[in-house]
Amino acid sequence: MLIAMPNHLIKDLRAIAEGLPENSADWPHIPCPTCHRGGLAPVADSLVMEESQTSKSWREKPDWEPDWINGGFHCLLHCRNSKCDLVRVVGRMQLSPDYDEWGKWYGDYRERLNPELFSPPLPLIESREACPKKVGQRIDAAAKVIWLDPSSAANRLRSAAEALMDDQGIPRKCIDRKGKVYNTTLHERIAKWKIARPEYADPADLLLAVKWIGNVGSHDDRLRLTDVLDGVEILDHLLTSVYDTTTDEIKKRAAEITARKGIPAGRFTNDDL
């Protein structure tokens, strides 16, 4: 059984997906692409918001409302670690009604900033260092486009699932009863993985969800950013369960300490038994 562990990175990404407040002091934690530990903050006086010319022209319409206002923004971000790279963020600006926590509107509006591009891209998964190279490369490819084109990102997550099956030794091609070679679908590969490695039955079930999200992303644009972040979170969790050896290492260390009855290594003698 897989045990869900707290994933602070995905919480950060979901908060960013809801949009950034006009006051940069209220922005959620934005993970640094360089160190993955620090949070990004705007470089002083670098945040620029501009109303589009189309939006300005709408002001002349008799039925114009403030929530018609839209445009773009761009900003430079820096990490508290001065050695990390600067990050550029570009996106859309939209004025929208400001509702209170109970959904009541008091007639006020607020600017909401929706990022479409981070350069360098923000990290997507906490298990990035543990997963195979080709799997990680495809996840990195998804990170480049997820804010602007969620469906394309979902398709790249599906490609990461294919690379995962490659790493697990599940073939892309098989031979039928007539001796003809045919391409195996990702769904079939995941089913074969579940049979070949029963200890990974739970991760295999999770990978099916990533596959389905990727399938939808391959055929239309109905996916929302939140849908793809679901796939990211699921993929991150199963990659951790398959490739992260931290738990095994901790168990081994605990067993060694127990065997020594807590006495530091190198100072343990047979008399301590």
- Tens of pLDDT, residue by residue over 31-51, are 999 999 899 999 999 999 999
The residue among 90, 123, 156 that closes a domain is 123
The residue among 123, 156, 181 that closes a domain is 123
Which phi and psi (to 5°) does residue 44 adopt?
-50, 130
> Range with the lowest mean pLDDT among 74-78, 181-185, 210-214, 253-257?
253-257
Q: How many domains does the chain have?
A: 2
Structure tokens at 34: 């360089």
The residue among 123, 146, 167 that closes a domain is 123
What does the pLDDT look like over 64-115, one tens digit per residue? 988 899 999 999 999 999 999 999 999 999 988 777 667 677 768 888 999 9
Domain identity same for 191 and 242: yes
The answer to whether residue 3 is domain-embedded is no
DSSP notation for 180-236: -EEEPPHHHHHHHHHHH-GGGHHHHHHHHHHHHHHHHHHH-S---HHHHHHHHHHHH
Q: How much is the pLDDT for 1?
A: 47
The answer to whether residue 67 is domain-embedded is yes
The C-alpha angle 137, 142, 46, rounded to 5 degrees, equals: 110
The answer to whether residue 111 is domain-embedded is yes
Domain identity same for 73 and 156: no
The answer to whether residue 242 is domain-embedded is yes
Calculate the dihedral angle through the C-alpha atoms of 98, 99, 104, 109, rounding to the nearest 10 degrees.
0
Domain identity same for 16 and 61: yes
Domain identity same for 86 and 138: no
pLDDT mean over 132-154: 97
For residue 172, pLDDT over 90 is answered with yes
Domain identity same for 109 and 69: yes
Domain identity same for 220 and 253: yes
**47: domain range?**
9-123
Q: How much is the pLDDT for 245?
A: 80
